[in-house]
A and B are shown apart, each in its own frame.
Chain A
Amino acid sequence: MPSESKRIPASLTVMIRSSGQEILQEWLSEQLSADTLRLDLIDEKTLEVESQEFLAVLSSALGSEELVDFERPAWQPVLSFLDELSRARDHAGFGPIETASFVLSLKQPLFARSLENPEKQSSKEEIWCVNQVLDHLALYTTDLFRERREATILRQQEEMEELSTPVVKVWDGILALPLVGTLDTRRSQMVTESLLEAIAATGSEIAILDMTGVPAIDTRMAQHLMRTVAATRLMGADCILSGIRPQIAQTIVHLKIQLGDIKTESTLAAALKSAFRQSGLKVQAEG
């Protein structure tokens, strides 16, 4: 029966309340002798304060509920405490296992107490309940750790994508887009979007797509490039491809990719010169 197995035995609450100090002391000595202890990252005093606080919020949640249900508001302080703790420990350099061990190590002193309970049935229920609660809370801390890592990865990915698609205005009416790495569908969409928006915003008529930083190309990426050029032309601007490496040129020939009538130049400098010419500009040495 799920509801029965999730029941919080009253005897457990009584036990934690009546011998809180002893439990805390046992738990602390347990933690201080554990392999996962990291006195290089945390001092004994902080560990004591944290342990005391966790025991207090846990005891209060257990005391105000009849069933183990982490969705209930009574558990919120416990979860918030662990949010805070795991963030702080993550920051200090603790690994996810070390943080989870903090929660799990409380099992030992609580089990020891429960085993002293002469009522076999109560003792069993207490142990089952403690086991469930602490397992869940330990998993919760590792989950928080994972979520934070994922958020970091996502942020870095976005930053990288932004960094790798800079549209540079090199002259009035001339934009340059230095492409770096390979373009997948998502990135090429972003590249095209930022280029088109920059064309609209600056009123530029020429966009140089510089491929110097592109190590290799495949049919798909070539198609993306063609689309970027096609969209640019629909807006009324023109594209010049520059810096195509010899290997890429070979691939283009080999894959029989038709670059159509897209203008190409060997280097970014040559493309810029061509763009100047197209805009009726002339670069001249002084004097």
Chain B
Amino acid sequence: MDRIPIAKIGSCLFATIQVDMHDRLALALREDLGSELLRTQAKGVLLDITSLDTLDTFIARLLAGIGAMAQLLGARTVLVGMRPAVAMTLVELGLTLEGVQTALNVERGMALLEATR
């Protein structure tokens, strides 16, 4: 089965989410991030969603779930690169991503994780 690769950069875990994130891929990512956080003791998780063109409630909740899980494991989660249309749709759906920070791009996201470490 396909899995989203997770890289470790410094004390952060980094994953790029592809164009269409189907449910099993997202569930596997949560699982993998959990075990990687335990194994590496990383202090931050950076999720790049620049190429994601839709984000429905299932995936949004799963992302928030990753944030909550990471928090329990002592790491902060930053979501970067959300597209304008995706941001607007999420707000119209009535969703907020509690427990997850956001940044414009990978660079800013990294800076945010480093600054608050």
Contacts and interface: CB of A to CB of B under 8 A. Distances in A.
5 contacts: A203-B104, A205-B108, A234-B97, A234-B102, A236-B104
A189 B88 CA distance: 9
A70 B23 CA distance: 57
Interface residues of B, number: 21
Nearest to A204: B104
B82 interface: yes
B45 interface: no
B71 interface: no
Given A200-B83, A230-B96, A236 B108 contact: yes
B91 interface: yes
Contacts of A205: 104, 108
Interface of B: 79-88, 90-92, 96-97, 102-105, 108-109
Q: Lowest 8 A-B CB distances belong to which pairs?
A: A196-B84, A236-B103, A236-B102, A234-B87, A236-B104, A231-B87, A231-B91, A230-B91
Per DSSP, chain A at the interface is helix
A203 B80 CA distance: 12
Contacts of A230: 91, 96
Given A203-B104, A235-B102, A193 B84 contact: yes
A234 B81 CA distance: 9
A220 interface: no
A236 B77 CA distance: 13
A130 interface: no
A234 B104 contact: no
